[in-house]
Amino acid sequence: MARDFNGSTQYIEVDSAVLTGVALTIACWFNPDSDAANAILVDIVNKSEGDRYFMLGAFGAEAGDPVQAEARQASSGVARSSTGYTVGTWHHAAGVFTSATSRAAYIDGGSKATNSTNITPVGLDRTSIGRLGRATPAGYFDGQIAEVGIWNVALTDAEITVLAAGFSPLFVRPESLVLYAPLVRETNDIVGAIGLANSGTTVADHPRILHRSTLGPVISPAISSVTPYGEITWAIDPDDYPSGAAFYFRACLKVTSGSSATARLYNITDGAVVANSEVSTGNASLVELISGAITLPSGSKVYRAEQGRPAGSTGNMKAAGVLVKT
């Protein structure tokens, strides 16, 4: 479930700045109900002034309805995506602020546009979703917003593409993720526990996103040359996820000698391999492998990720987990 904004009074906000300077990246999914006006998706502002902020917006009053990434301190440095959005359609928006003289805007992982005006906003002390939270608030967004992420680094083009492909922000430089608000029913930040206040937004349909399970560890230490299998364990209850959620097994594997390396998900509680979870590779470089959809039984069960190899082969597993697409 995303959050729905009415375009006039509703927003989500906290009176603190999650970041106060570059480098930073802001990204989210949005589904606009209108393209008649310039509207703000996410921003970090000086709440006592009118013209000091970092902002990501959907600018329907501009030609082509672009996504805009803007830094402002009296004057503005503006990057606008080279293509625009469509009303009633989920889109991914991102703004990357690399330095005082470098910022970029993206829509749906591409259409990148850049700007190099020298701008350094100061005195930032508020983080807002769905409006520009300056001294005189403006730019109220009309539509749905979900999967808000803010990082304290400048993400690369490839990383923006991953986000736009439907992967949760938890997959992309999680060590640098300072705010992640999925906006699934609640408005909580699940990374830094920042207290985002909801001013009237309501629950709406969520875009389909691939998530890591948040109910247990998903990153393992390296497991090498294990016969037949090594293990990482965690607990998952599919009933904790929205109706219609789809589950997949994910592992990062490579072959260190021989022909192939494999991995699978094993249900320790029920003593059974999870059907359709096995993945394999013959690649000598680390690759991410995702199974087809798997079925997890109702109730909390303990699982482990298992690595295997055929005779004469060795492999290495760097990470494993369950992806949840809601």
- pLDDT in the model for residue 51: 95
Q: Could you give the CA distance from residue 118 to residue 19 in angstroms, rounded to a whole number?
A: 19
- Give the pLDDT score at 127: 98
Residue 71: partners with Cβ closer than 8 Å, 6 or more residues away: 53, 54, 55, 77, 97, 100, 103, 117, 119, 120, 121
Query: In the prediction, which pLDDT does 214 show?
Result: 36
Assess whether 200 and 233 both reside in one domain.
no
For residues 180 and 258, state if they share a domain. Answer: no
What pLDDT shows up at residue 231?
46
Which of 181, 207, 233 corresponds to the end of one domain? Answer: 207
Residue 188 sits in the same domain as residue 267 = no
212 within some domain: no
45 and 176 assigned to the same domain: yes
What is residue 18's predicted lDDT score, i.e. its pLDDT? 96
Residues 237 and 315 in one domain: yes
Q: Is residue 50 part of a domain?
A: yes
What is residue 68's predicted lDDT score, i.e. its pLDDT? Answer: 98
**Within this chain, do residues 89 and 163 fall inside the same structural domain, yes or no?**
yes
Instruction: Say which CATH number the domain at 196 has.
Output: 2.60.120.200
**Structural domain includes residue 185:** yes
Given this model, what pLDDT does residue 181 score?
A: 93
Instruction: Chunk the chain into consecutive blocks of 10 residues (it has 326) and report each block's average pLDDT, rounded to whole numbers.
Output: 93 97 98 97 97 98 98 97 97 98 97 98 98 97 97 93 86 88 84 87 82 38 35 72 84 80 85 89 83 90 77 68 80
Identify the CATH number of the domain in which residue 269 sits.
2.60.120.260
Considering the domain architecture, whether residues 187 and 236 belong to the same structural domain is answered as: no
The total number of structural domains that make up the chain: 2
Given 175, 207, 239, which residue is the final one in a domain? 207
Q: Evaluate if pTM is beyond 0.85.
A: no
Same domain, 183 and 74: yes
pLDDT of 138: 97
**Beta carbons of 179 and 192 less than 8 angstroms apart:** yes
> For position 218, what pLDDT does the model report?
32
Domain assignment present for residue 214? The answer is no
Residues 22 and 135 in one domain: yes
Domain membership flag for residue 154:
yes
What pLDDT is recorded for position 261?
81
Q: Which domain range does residue 230 map to? A: 223-325
| Domain shared by 189 and 259, yes or no | no
Domain-embedded: residue 216: no
Tell me, yes or no, whether 246 and 197 share the same domain: no
- Asked if 247 and 174 sit in the same domain, the reply is no
| Dist CA 169 CA 174 (whole Å) | 7
